[in-house]
Every structure is written in C-alpha cells, then in structure tokens.
Structure 1
Amino acid sequence: MLGVLIALLVCLLSLHFLGQLRSQKSYPPGPLRLPIIGSIWRVGVKVYKDSGIKLAKQYGNIFMVWLGSRPVVVLSGYEAVKEGLINHSDAFAERSMTPLVKTIMKEHGIAMSNGHTWRQQRKFGVTSMRKLGLGKKGMEPQIEEEAQQLVECFARTKGQPFDPAMPIFNSISNVICAVVFGYRFPVEDKEFIKLTEDVHGFLTFLCTFWHFVYDIFPWLMRYLPGPHKKAIARAEAVLSFARKEIKMHKEHHAAHEPQDFIDFYLSQMKKSENDPNSTYSEDNLAQCIFDLFIAGTETSALSLQWGLLLMANHPDIQEKVHKEIEDVLGSSQIFHYQDRKKLPYTNAVIHEIQRFQYIVSVGGPRQCTKDVNMRGFFIPKGAVIIPDLHSVLCDPTHWETPEEFNPNNFLDKDGNFVQKEAFLPFGAGARICLGEQLARVELFIFFANLLRAFTFQVPEGVKELNTDPIVGFILAPRPHKLCAVPRSSSS
C-alpha cells in the first residue's frame, strides 16, 4: 500500500512539473526549473563578476532563472538593458524587495520604496540635491576641501607603502555628511568610525549565503541567531544615527536658510502638514539618509580605490594624466569640475576606470508591475527584473577592447573625449542613480588632485597589484598597499 502511495505521489509531482514546463513555453529561456529550489542548482548561491554574461552566452540576452518559485528575468548587453529600462521604464519602475530589505527599510525612503511614496520622495531628492548645488556656491567647495584633506593624509605616508582604503572611505563619507548633516566629522571621531563600519558591514552582508537563506525562509530566520541579526543591527544603528541628527536639526532648525538635506526636508514637512497625500515624515527622512549613505559612500570610495590601483599598474597612463594636468592647469591650487572639459585624456581615464572596474555586481533589481511582451518573450507581472549593467560595460559590440583597461574607449582619433551611449554605470530610466552628479564631481576632483600631487607606485618587490575583485553586492579591490610618492612640483 505504501509503495502505491509513493508511486502515485511521484506521478502527481511529475505531472505538475510537466505542466509547469508547458506553461512556461513563452517565457524567456533559462536553466531548468526544479521543484522547490528553482534554477539555483545551475546559477549557484555565490555571485561572480561575469555570472550573467556566461548565462547570456548560453540562453541569450534575455533569460529567466528561478529563485525557488519566483521568476527572475535578466537583461544582458546594451540593447536589452536599454530596451528594458527605457522603453519599458514604467513597467519596470518598481523596486523588488527581498524579505530582509523589507524588514529593515519598511518601504520608506527613496531606494527601496514604490508607488506614491517613491515618486514623492524621489522628486524631493532630485530637487533638494539641485538646490544644494554642485557649483562654486554649492557642495563643490566642500568636495575640494575633502580632496585636499586626503592629499595631506597621503603626504603623511612619506612615500611608504600604505593601505588607501580607509582614508578614501572616510573622505567620501564626509562628503555625504556635509550634504546630509551640513558638517564633516574628524576622522578619529568614534561615532563617525562606528557609522562607517555599520554602513560597510551592512553592504557586505547583502550578497552572502545568509542573506539568500533569510530570503528563502524569512519566517524561520527571524527567530534564529546568525549573521543576519548583526546585519539588521547595523542597519538599525545607521537609522538611529540619522534620527539623532534629525532631532538635533529640529532643535536648531533654520526654516528660512536651509543648509543641508535635513534642513530642506524639515521645511518640506512643515509645508505639507495639511496635505493628506503627503509622505514627508521623520521615518521617510531617516530612510532617505540611510539610502544616501548606502548608495553614496562605498560606491564612490571603491571607484577611487580602483582608480589609484590601476594607475599604479599602468604608470604610462598615469604619467599621461599628470602631464595633461600640469600642461593645462599648471600651478592652479584648486580644480573645479568644469576643468574636466580641458582635460580630455584625464576625463577618459576616469570613465574607463568606472567601465573596466565597475563596482556593482548587477544593477538594482526591479519588479514587473504588469505583463510585458519583450522581444517575443512573455515576462509575467511580479517577475524580478535584473539589468546586468556589467554586461553593458563589457558589451563587445560597443567597446573596442571590452576586457582591457584602455582609455581610448572614450577618445576619438584626434584625442577628443567622446561620451558613449553604452556607458551606464549609474543605470538608466526612472530609477537612475539619484547621486550620479555628486559621484561624477567627487571622482574627478579627488582623482585629479591626487594625480597632480603624487606618483602612485606598487611597493618594492611587487610586480603588479591584483585586479581580481572580491565579489559580493559590490566588487571591491583585494586588500593591498601602494606608495604615494610626492611629485617635486607639488611638494
């Protein structure tokens, strides 16, 4: 009798499985979906830098994988990503939230909210960043000040090998502090150190095995100990820090002269007190601050780290950058963002750093809000959409040497800078990175000031620094040291 029941169960499961396969005929192709585990047997838990590119070679530029019972559609290559993020911008505008992210962020803020909340918070974010400004009377002087602080920090190493990661991260974090809080922290400040550690620790956790396990069994993991508990505590610590700053700003709020992001937000809260549709609240403000730190510190800091590492590995390119800066700007004490127009080679090198060592494993996941037909494939409502931006920046149909570090990817035959349509490190469409302009200004001013002041070299006895990243939610350089040798003209 037991044997008959087992055989019947196997038969029913087989029929159900075959029925699923038939119902998915119009879906994009992809690895075989198995009961319970989906396609994870083929994809694996660990993310690799070129995982999506390898799968696209087998299944095409639009393919589907299954995380358990949830369909995930990956867009690979420039044409597919552009079509998805631009032509289907409205259908793919919502953010897909994992159970862990939903537990922490509660659909507040900008990055992980949807619907009316996202539209209102996003619009405010764009407007307030514009009001804060990045010209001579806005944030640019503070970025220049942080760049000079970093130059002085590097100078204290006296050309000896050192790890540049923490000084760079502190400087970029202080730019965000200036934008959000209106002031910078001394790098030895204990609260500042704790804040940066919590931001970094939370980001590191997001692409680990434990995050995956939490999202498959959230009802169980909420009650079990493990690294997820520490990640949640780190996120809450950043939010608590934000709430403390909000309270301080409320006590000393200058309604007529806003100086920073919190001031602008509190003013908007006041204006919207009687609006029943307003989403302006302290909870949303705290989450917006969290979003700015998560999105605006590690990404810019890692891009600058990669830039210096690549300059140490490519002394010929580094020397061309320095010569152009010296020839064009001479003894100018301060660089402005507008100076990039006079420095086509330097500008090309900075863009190539972002292209060649793109620091995010994939673009932020979206969620399909309605059934969509794209390139002959049916994408169901509720599917997760992942734009593989790494594949865009390595698309061989748009880059002359996609696998090599080559500034000529952004130069014409006359040496003029050329902006490429496939350069999408900040994404595209409705969810394009809010801090794109800030990141561009930061990277140019920091990079140009450092390259004028120092020659970056590998330590004695080291042939070349490793360019294989540590892969997680972000692609970080492996721990390394380099030498910042002062140039005679800057000493």
Structure 2
Amino acid sequence: MAWSLYLLIAVLILFLVRKVFGRRGHLPPGPTPLPVLGNLLHLKSRETHKPILEFSKKYGPVYTLYIGPQPAVVLVGYKAVKEALVDHAEKFSGRAEVPIVDITSKGYGIFFSNGERWKELRRFSLTTLRNFGMGKRSIEERIQEEVQNLLEFFQETKGTVFDPTFFIRRSVSNVICSVLFGRRFEYTDPKLQTLLDLIAENVRRVDNIWVQMYNFIPSILKYFPGPHHKLTENYQAQLDYVEEIVREHEKTLDPSSPRDYIDVFLLKMQQESKDPHTQYNLPNLLSCALDIFFAGQETTTSTLSSTLLILLKYPHIKEKIQAEIETVIGRTRRPCMEDHTKMPYTEAVLHEVMRFTDFLPLGAPHSVTEDTVFRGYYLPKGTIVFAVLHSVLYDASFFKRPQEFYPEHFLDQQGLFKRNEAFIAFSTGKRACPGEGLARMELFLYLTSILQKFDIRSDKSPDEIDLSPEYSGLGKRAPRFEMALVPY
C-alpha cells in the first residue's frame, strides 16, 4: 500500500513538472532550475531579496526564476519596474494566483482578486476610504482622537522604559476599526486581541514548509494533514469575526446615515441585490474588510515603530524634527494635516523611513493579464511577475546613499521637500496600495503628536541600537525595542 502511494506521488510530480516546464513560452534567461524545487535552494536566505539581486548581476534586470516548478519573471531596478507596472500598467495589473489563496480568501476581496472583481472593489474601497466621514467626522479627526488616547497612555508610563509597539499596534488598529467597523476598542479588549493574534499567527504560518510546498503541489498536499489546513481554519476564524460585526450592522443600518465602510458596502449590496453578477456580496465584504484591516495596521505600525527606533539611533535627526514642530505647530495646538506642507524636514524623514525600511522587498506578486511581449520576451497570460521594490528603493541612480538612512534624499539645496520618482514604497501602477493616503496621514499625525509632547530616550547608546528588521515570509517588520517617553 505504501509503495503504491509513493508511486502515485512520483507520477503526479512528473506530470506536474512536464506540464509546467513544457509551457514556459519564450521567457527571459535565468538560473537553471531543479525538477520540482526550481531555484528554491538558491533562496534559502531569510533575506530573499539578496540572492535575487545577485542573480540580476549575471542575468540582467529581467530574468526568470523558478519558484518550485512555477516560472516567475523578476524585474530589478527602477527602469524595468516602471516600464512594466506603469508603461504597461494594464498588462501587468494581474495578481499572481497562489494556491493557498484558493483555500483561504478564495480570490474574494481586493488583494488577491483579479479582473472585474478587483477593479470594482478597488474603485469602491478607494472612494469610500477617501470620502468617508465627511458629513460627521473626517478620517483625520478619527486619527487625532486615537492619537490622544495613545498619548494619555504614554503619559501614564511616567518616563519608564517599555516596548511601545504593542500599544502603537492597538492604537493604529483602532483607526482602521473606526473606519471599517464604526468603533474603537480598548487596548486590553480580548476581541481585538483575538483578531490580531489570528493575523499574526497566519503571517508566521506562511513561512511553514508545508504551506510553501502546498503552493507548488496543491493537488497532492490537499489530501495530507498539515499546517496548511490550520492556515485555512485560522482565516475562517477571521472571517467569522468580521461576519459577527456585519450581522450587528445589518440590524441597525440607517440608509440615510452610513457609519462606516461596512454600512456603505451593505447599502451597495441592497442596491444591487437583483444583479446576479454583482461583486457586492457577503464573501467580498468580509475579505475586503480583512484585507484593509491587515494592510491598515501592520505596515503603519511597523513604519511608525521603526521611525521611533531610527530617531533613537540618530538623535540629531530627532532634534531637527522637534525644532520644526516647535516652529510650525508649537506645544499646545494639536498637529493637523495642513502642517505637513510647512514641515519639509519631517516629511523627508518619513519618506526616508519608508524607503530605508522597505517592508515588502519583493513587492506583492503580479501576473500578466494577457499574452505579453516585454523587452523581446514572450510572457504567456498568467505568468507570475516579481517587481522587486527593494531594487528601486535602493537604486543608486536615484538615491545618493542608498544603504544609509539619509533624509536629504528628499530635500533640495534650499531644504525644501523634493519628490523622488523612484520612491515606490506603496508600489506603483494599477496595483499600488489603496491605503496610501491613510497611511501617510497616520504617520505624520502620530509622529508629530508624540514628539510634540514627549522626548524619546533609550537606555542604550546610539551605537548600540540595531536597526536590523525581523523577517517573516516575504516581508519584514520593525525589530523589538524599548524606549522611555519623557514629557516636556
């Protein structure tokens, strides 16, 4: 019986190898792949972007890498990435099909959807996030309110050393909870903690070898027990969490006064209830909410935490921001978004943090939406594409000191803020992050509000502070650290 099973697995693997390797079209050259494993042995480093950049030195800015048996075209450097994602935006606007998604979000929502579903839900979400709350409380007011709650907690630390990330994550989560769910949670609320724990656990599980192997041979591993099934159970628990909130909203929905993203989506569901092809349905609502929640709290939390850590390491930069706050805002009026155009150095620092920390080095995987000729190579429809954001954010042609933290990358000779076309921390093209505006607003208001009321200090000397990030899956996050907040 066992030998029969092994034989069946071997036959299935050989079939898969022939099927995939036999349809590679005229892809760019790249390192020779092994059967089934492809080039995975070359990517053993936690810092996956480093061997990928090394390959580009031999094969150029456009080459093919096999992720298991699946070919992926890799784009390195600003010129190649821009040419694909901007100049040929529509053709490169697909999201790569990832088998693990078929048993989690099932292609619903914004992040992993494609075609008309993605276009419609992205357009709706962008409009809702941009315009929501204009009649009562704007998003800026919601952020300012949550910032004040965080500052009150920081006041209670009385200058003692503590890890701020836990509280920053809950505060930032409350901003997106306010927009999505119409409410905030206390920092100790067990329900919010449960959702954050479920998300954190799934981020860790993405690194599991069973989950990675499932993406290569799902037709085989779906019959085997393992952590990949736990990932599905975990995601379902997140969907159940959001559905409970949605059901509460349905009972109290007032069409004349939508309170949040869920209310607006529910109203669209009612308006299009007779359309059999509508994208406004419960599965899309639940997955959209989770997509926005994850993107809205994880990257902003890590970026803000990294900003504080970097300022601890470079106190002279912190002092320049504090001087700008003193000049433009003062010590009593709370910061607002009108201030940011008058604070070029603060803006430059925040941009440099996002460039330097580079939390998604490879970017999210794209795919071509149709058979495409790119730089003389033929990419069949559905070909996976990795636009390596790290290679753009660290492109020496656009950033004078790419390996250093150097705010002057975004300042001109007069000290005014200077845009840089290679700044694509939120990606670029049609798949750019829809929450970019919210994230920028949060980072500015949180940072200026904290530094307006407190001086930040560390019990380590600047030379002892390590900025090395933690790696998880294809992404990075801010390292753990401690600091003290001393009121002025």
TM-score, reference length from structure 1: 0.91
Q: After TM superposition, give the deviation of residue 331 of structure 1 in Å.
A: 2.8
For residue 373 of structure 2, what is the aligned residue in structure 1? Answer: 373
Q: Deviations over 1:301-359 (max 9, x none)?
A: 00001100000000000001001110111134311112100100011101110001111
Query: Equivalent pairs: percent with the same residue?
Result: 36
For the residues of structure 2 that align with 1:29 and 1:223, how far apart are their CA atoms?
35
Aligned residue runs from structure 1 range 74-85, under 5 A = 74-85=74-85
Q: C-alpha distance in 1, partners of 2:193/2:466?
A: 27
Equivalent residue, structure 2, for 1:475: 476
Instruction: Give the Cα–Cα distance (whole angstroms) in 1 for the partners of residues 234 and 36 of structure 2.
Output: 31
CA distance in 1, matches of 2:240, 2:196: 14
TM-superposed deviation, 1:225? 4.0
Q: Which residue of 2 aligns with 1:139?
A: 139
Matches of 1:368 and 1:462 in 2, distance apart?
A: 46
In structure 1, C-alpha distance between the alignment counterparts of 2:460 and 2:366, rounded to whole Å = 46
TM-align CA RMSD: 2.2
Query: What letter matches 2:366 in structure 1?
Result: R
TM-fit CA distance, 1:452: 1.6
Question: How far 1:65 sits from its partner (Å)?
Answer: 0.4
Aligned CA distance change for structure 1 residues 280 and 116 (closer, same or farther; 3 Å)? same
Contact between 1:61 and 1:75, CA under 8 Å: does it hold in 2?
yes
Give the match's secondary structure for 1:194.
Answer: helix
CA distance in 1, matches of 2:106, 2:397: 41
| Pair 1:415–1:133, CA change in 2 (3 A) | farther
CA 1:233–1:465 in structure 2 vs 1: closer, same or farther (change >3 Å)?
A: farther
Q: Determine if contact 2:455/2:486 at 8 Å carries over to the other structure.
A: yes
- Mapped to 2, the partners of 1:155 and 1:60 lie a distance apart of 53
Gaps of 5+ in 1: 1-12
Q: Which residue of 2 aligns with 1:309?
A: 309
Q: Deviations over 1:364-413 (max 9, x none)?
A: 11112222222233323221011111111000001011110010000000
Map residues 262-273 of structure 1 onto 2, 5 A cutoff. Answer: 262-273=262-273
CA distance in 2, matches of 1:171, 1:360: 22
Partners of 2:219 and 2:286 in 1: CA distance? 26
Worse-matched range after superposition: 75-84 or 27-36? 27-36
The Cα offsets for residues 161-212 of structure 1, whole Å up to 9 and x where unpaired, read as 2111110110111111001011101111111111111122222332443321
The answer to whether the Cα contact below 8 Å between 2:314 and 2:462 also exists between their aligned partners in 1 is no
Q: Tell me by how many angstroms 1:460 deviates.
A: 4.5
**TM-score (normalizing by structure 2):** 0.91
> C-alpha distance in 2, partners of 1:257/1:25?
54
Rounded to whole Å, the distance in 2 between the matches of 1:126 and 1:353 is 25
Q: Paired residue for 1:218?
A: 218
CA positional deviation for 1:462: 7.4
Partner of 1:201: 201
Partner AA of 2:372 in structure 1: V
Contact 1:45 1:212 in 2 (8 A): no
Over 3 Å counting, the alpha-carbon distance change for 1:58 and 1:159 in structure 2 is farther
Q: For the residues of structure 2 that align with 1:293 and 1:24, how far apart are their CA atoms?
A: 37
What SS class does the counterpart of residue 37 from structure 1 fall into?
coil
> Structure 1 residues 484 and 25 mapped into 2: Cα distance closer, same or farther (>3 Å)?
same
Residue 247 of structure 1 corresponds to: 247
* Worse-matched range after superposition: 261-270 or 157-166: 157-166
Alpha-carbon distance in structure 1 between the residues aligned to 2:96 and 2:389: 17
Tell which deviates more after alignment, 116-125 or 203-212.
Answer: 203-212
Change in Cα spacing, 1:209 to 1:462, as seen in structure 2 (3 Å) is farther
Partner of 2:410: 410
Query: In 1, distance between residues paired with 2:37 and 2:229?
Result: 24
Poorly superposed stretches of 4+, deviation over 6 Å: none
Contact 2:69 2:216 in 1 (8 A): no
Superposed counterparts of 1:308-457, under 5 Å: 308-457=308-457
C-alpha distance in 2 between matches for 1:136 and 1:313:
41
Instruction: Name the structure 1 match of 2:40.
Output: 40
2:292 is equivalent to residue 292 of structure 1: yes
Indicate the SS of the match to 2:326: helix
Structure 2 spans left out of the alignment, 5+ residues: 1-13
Corresponding pairs, count? 470
Who is 1:485 aligned against?
486
Q: Is the 8 A contact 1:355 1:423 kept in 2?
A: yes
Shift of 1:238: 1.3
